[in-house]
């Protein structure tokens, strides 16, 4: 579905054009065309390929779902795939944004995502002095917008882990803690899948030898890279924390089990002794003189209480009870 198709000249918006006028605007040197598609069909992509002479392999990639984030250089154009990650209920939805960028055009194709990018176009049009850099600035602006939307996710992950941490030493919460940690881990891995390959790919757009297209906008791509590093650092931190938290949770359960084992053993011992003693005086021997004593019964109760008290005191001191 075509969202819009606009010509820009000297950093300023000229006008919306129909798709089949595109080729007239290419190759003039001072203008570029910026087309945005959404959930594009194969036909739309083929039409675009004809207008912009897009490389075959890149178009084939854009037609398939589940691409890996990447930046590929073709002769004088770039093909980028970015992941659009957004919360959807309890899960994360992963869409894709494919961007074709050449000297005089930018084509963005957004798939399976509810996130809109009209704001990026508006922001670019408000800054004509930057938009004058041409298509590579648009490429930057789109990447920047995609990457900036990863930050709320890491913030949410960090909040979630803090909320779990508050309960990590709480008895009885172990089961739900582990479950939440596991689900968090899955989400973190999904985001990592979006970030890590991009981080590697983007390093080709600044620093040493960069594609001609990005020569003037290197600093901007370095800025995106820096944001990705920050996100990646958070992700690594969260992963590490999740691992330790599961381990600690398990340790707490084991410790608690051990303590319960001790208490169980202690009380079991006390009552086993009492039961044995009352059993002795419950035997039916004829000649058990103490059974005849006037104060035999209170004495028996006293003996039992005494023995149990002694044992209680002993276990208490040994910190079993």
With respect to a copy of itself, which residue has the nearer C-beta, 118 or 251?
251
Residue closest to 216 by CA, chosen among 224, 227, 226, 205: 205
**Size of residue set near a copy of itself by CB under 8 A:** 89
State which of residues 265, 302, 310, 313 lies at the interface with a copy of itself (CB under 8 A).
265
Is 241 near a copy of itself (CB under 8 A)? yes
With respect to a copy of itself, which residue has the nearer C-beta, 15 or 319?
319
Binding mask 144-183 for a copy of itself (x = CB under 8 A): ------------------------xx-xx-xx--xx-xx-
Tokens of 2: 């075509």
CA angle 288, 291, 295 (to 5 degrees): 140
Residue 11: left (phi > 0), alpha (psi -120 to 50), or beta?
A: left
With respect to a copy of itself, which residue has the nearer C-beta, 116 or 172?
172
Residues within window 59-88 making contact with a copy of itself, judged by CB under 8 A? 61, 66-68, 70, 72, 74
Residue closest to 138 by CA, chosen among 166, 100, 96, 174: 100
State which of residues 1, 14, 57, 215 lies at the interface with a copy of itself (CB under 8 A).
57
Cβ contact 299:288 at 8 Å: no
Residues within window 278-317 making contact with a copy of itself, judged by CB under 8 A? 278-288, 290-297, 300-301, 304
DSSP state letter for 288: -
For the chain, report the end-to-end CA distance as a whole number of angstroms: 71
Smallest distance from a copy of itself to CB 14, Å:
26
């Amino acid at each position: 579905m075509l969202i819009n198709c606009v010509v820009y000249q000297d950093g300023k918006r000229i006008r919306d054009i129909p798709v089949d006028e595109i080729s007239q605007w290419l190759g003039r040197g001072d203008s570029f065309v910026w087309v945005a598609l959404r959930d594009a069909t194969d036909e739309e992509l083929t039409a675009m390929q004809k207008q912009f002479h897009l490389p075959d392999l890149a178009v084939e990639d854009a037609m398939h779902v589940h691409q890996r984030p990447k930046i590929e250089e073709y002769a004088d154009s770039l093909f980028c795939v970015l992941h659009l990650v957004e919360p959807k209920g309890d899960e994360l939805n992963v869409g894709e944004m494919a961007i074709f960028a050449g000297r005089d055009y930018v084509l963005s194709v957004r798939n399976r995502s509810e996130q809109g990018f009209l704001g990026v176009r508006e922001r670019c049009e408000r800054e004509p002095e930057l938009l004058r850099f041409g298509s590579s600035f648009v490429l930057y602006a789109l990447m920047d917008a995609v990457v900036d939307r990863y930050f709320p996710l890491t913030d949410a992950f960090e909040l979630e882990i803090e909320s779990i941490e508050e309960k990590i030493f709480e008895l009885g919460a172990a089961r739900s803690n582990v479950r939440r940690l596991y689900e968090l881990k899955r989400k973190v891995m999904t985001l990592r899948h979006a970030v890590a390959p991009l981080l590697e790919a983007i390093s080709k757009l600044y620093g040493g030898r960069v594609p001609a297209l990005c020569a003037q906008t290197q600093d901007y791509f370095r800025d995106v890279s820096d944001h990705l590093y920050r996100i990646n650092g958070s992700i690594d931190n969260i992963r590490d924390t999740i691992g330790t938290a599961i381990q600690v949770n398990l340790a707490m359960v084991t410790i608690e089990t051990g303590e319960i084992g001790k208490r169980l053993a202690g009380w079991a011992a006390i009552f086993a002794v009492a039961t044995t003693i009352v059993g002795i005086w419950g035997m039916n021997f004829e000649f058990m003189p103490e059974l005849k004593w006037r104060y035999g019964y209170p004495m028996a109760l006293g003996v039992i209480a005494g023995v149990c008290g002694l044992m209680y005191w002993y276990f208490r001191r040994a910190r079993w009870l």
